[in-house]
Structures are given as C-alpha cells and as structure tokens.
Structure 1
Amino acid sequence: MFDIKKPEFKFLILFIPLIIFWFFFYHYLYKIDEILGLQFDSLTEFSKLLSYQSNFILSIFNIKTSIEIHGDMVVTKILNYQFSHGVWIGEPCNGIKIFGLFTIFIISFKGEWSKKIWFIPLGVLCLHFLNILRISVLTYISAVNPFILDFNHNITFQLITYSAMLGLWYLWILKFSSLKVNEKKS
C-alpha cells in the first residue's frame, strides 16, 4: 500500500518535519538578535535593504522616494503625493518566509547536493528580485491609487510570488533533480 521507497513518500518524510521546524523557528527568528545579544536588529536591517533596493527601482523612473523607520517596520513611500502613506515592509513582506519554504522544497526533493548548493541561493535571489519589484510596484500603487493597494498586495502579488516559487521548484524537478519525469517503464 505505502511504498516508503517511492519519491513522493521520501519527499513527505523529509518535507513535513522540515516545514514544522521552519515555522517553529520562523516564530523566533524575529527575536534572534535579542537571543544572541546582538546590538542591532538584523531583520529590520534586511527590510531597510529591501526598501533601498525598491526605491532604487523607482528612481530609475525618476520617482523620488523616502524611507521611514517605525520600530521594527520600515516604510517606503513616494514623495510629492499628498495622500501617500507608503508601504510598510516587515514580517512577512520581507520575503524570508518564502525563502525558507522554497529552500525546504528543494532540500526535500530528490537531487544531488552539488546542484542544490547552487540552485537554492539562485532561487532565493530570484525570489528576492521579484520581491524588490513587488515592493516598488506596491509603493507606486499606494501613491497613485491606494484603493487597489490591498487587492494587489493580498491577491495579485501573492499569486505571482507563490507561482514563481512553484515555477522554480518545477524547474528543479524537470532539469536538476535526479527524478526521471515521464520515464516509460519497461
């Protein structure tokens, strides 16, 4: 009935504990600096970096932006728009949750570690660039038409981001995993 040697069961046996660990660890990730006794908030710094990168994209189009820090939240907004409240960047909008999920998908799936070692950082980098574009577009939307911001934040970009992650996983399965897809059995 259940063949433990089948790739889907091997995947689940590794995936389920890793995903449970990730979501447990993720809960404490935002306290890691405090736990380690560090003097700075590395996740806020990551959100600031993301904000600077997103604002750089907007500056290419000659759009002037600013960055504000409110506790552990970073706000990026366009200047010279009267009602622009900007976009808040923090958990989970900084992309760290999806980076972990993508990494777990690749680690759990069949394939050589020599390929996983370069594919995981490359995939995370692709997802990060997508997140930079997402924040740039959402910042622009927040200034020019804030009424559609929630829809685009909660629906449009969720679909795009998770589709990109699943697309990268699919690419892994087809091109880099050791699983033979659509192989005829003799």
Structure 2
Amino acid sequence: MKKYFKEYKPFLLFLSKFIGAYLVLTFAYYSYLGIYDQQKFEVDGFTQIVANQTTKLISVFDSRTHVEPNFTEPSVNLFYREKWVSRIIEGCNALSVMILFVSFIFAFSGKFKQTVLFILFGCISIHIFNIIRIALLGVSMFHYPQYQEVLHGVIFPLFIYGVVFILWIVWVIKFSSYAKKSSKR
C-alpha cells in the first residue's frame, strides 16, 4: 500500500488539491447564491452584470437591445431588435466554469504569484468570452431560431469549454510546476 501511494503521489496530490479547491469554491458559490430568494425570482448580482454587459456588447452593433427582469423565474430576459431571444439564468454567468478552471490551476499550481496572476487572467478571459458567447447566441437566436438546440446545446458550450481547455493547456505547458520539471529533463 505504501508503494502504491509513493508511486502515484503526484496524481493523488493533484486529485486531492483539485477536489479540495472545487468543494471549497462550490460551497462559497452556493453560499453566495443563497443570499438571493429564488422563490421571489431574484437574480444574483453577477448574472445581472453578465446580462447588462451582454446588452452593452450587442448595442455596439445594434442599439435595439435590452434586458428585462423575468417575473416567472429567476432570470433576465434578453431582447434583440425588440424581440425576446433568450433568458439569462444563473448557469449562464460562467462562475461554475471559473470554479472548475481555478480548481484545475490550483491543483497544478506553480509559483504563487504566477498561479494567482494566471487565475485572474483566466477568469477575466472566461468572463469576456462568456459575454461574447451570450451576445452571439442571442443574435443567432434572432436570425436562426430553428437551430436553437444545436446553438445552445452544442456550439456555444463548446465555445466556452474550448476557451477553458486552451487556458489549461497553456498553464500546464508553460507555467505549472509540472512544466518546470519537464523542461529540466
């Protein structure tokens, strides 16, 4: 048993750091969400920020866009050219994606300063790409409503998870402690 732990120590260390960070961040996130009353259809502040920033991005190209609160569920309705095109819910704010990203980076951590800076850079990048993703999805839903399931269920999730995957690869290859050990060989 001792041989097993010694042989797989790097993997077990990675796994325990990842699970630990993921559980702590998820608990913090759900505590944050608990502040808002779902029964009264309250939307969390970050989701509202995402909805407002999405509207501002779309407005750069077409000013006939706005968001309105949804009074039947905790979400924000996105309108494009005065037509309702989508609802932005808590799951659209990408915070759960950022939690996954941060947990992975923490588990593969390198130098403290580099790790913190990359986590900040990555979360900001994920946020920006998420705003772009939601804006493109909203406009696409207006022009191509018949492709709603493919756009929302396949194309746009691949977009945001692709960004996260690329950031992970960059981290592991360039900055993690694993990259430093590999370059010394």
Task: Please give the TM-score of this superposition, normalised by the length of structure 2.
Answer: 0.82
Distance 1:178 1:11 in 2: 11
The structure with more helix, counted as a fraction of residues: 2
Cα shift at 1:17: 3.0
Map 1:20-169; keep pairs closer than 5 Å: 20-33=23-36, 44-71=44-71, 72-80=74-82, 84-169=83-168
The answer to whether structure 1 residue 173 and structure 2 residue 172 are counterparts is yes
Gapped regions of structure 1 (runs ≥ 5): 35-40
Q: Percent identity?
A: 28
Residue of structure 2 in register with 1:17 after alignment? 20
Q: Root-mean-square deviation (CA), in Å?
A: 2.6
Cα shift at 1:26: 4.0
Pick closer, same or farther for the CA change 1:174–1:42 going to 2, 3 Å: farther
SS of the aligned residue for 2:92 comes to coil
Distance 1:185 1:125 in 2: 31
Distance 1:185 1:130 in 2: 34
Q: Deviations over 1:7-48 (max 9, x none)?
A: 3221112112333444455444321356xxxxxx99633222
Gapped regions of structure 2 (runs ≥ 5): none
Pick closer, same or farther for the CA change 1:155–1:145 going to 2, 3 Å: same
Pick closer, same or farther for the CA change 1:185–1:46 going to 2, 3 Å: closer
Task: Please give the TM-score of this superposition, normalised by the length of structure 1.
Answer: 0.82
Distance 2:184 2:8 in 1: 17
Distance 1:5 1:31 in 2: 38
- Report how many residues are paired: 177
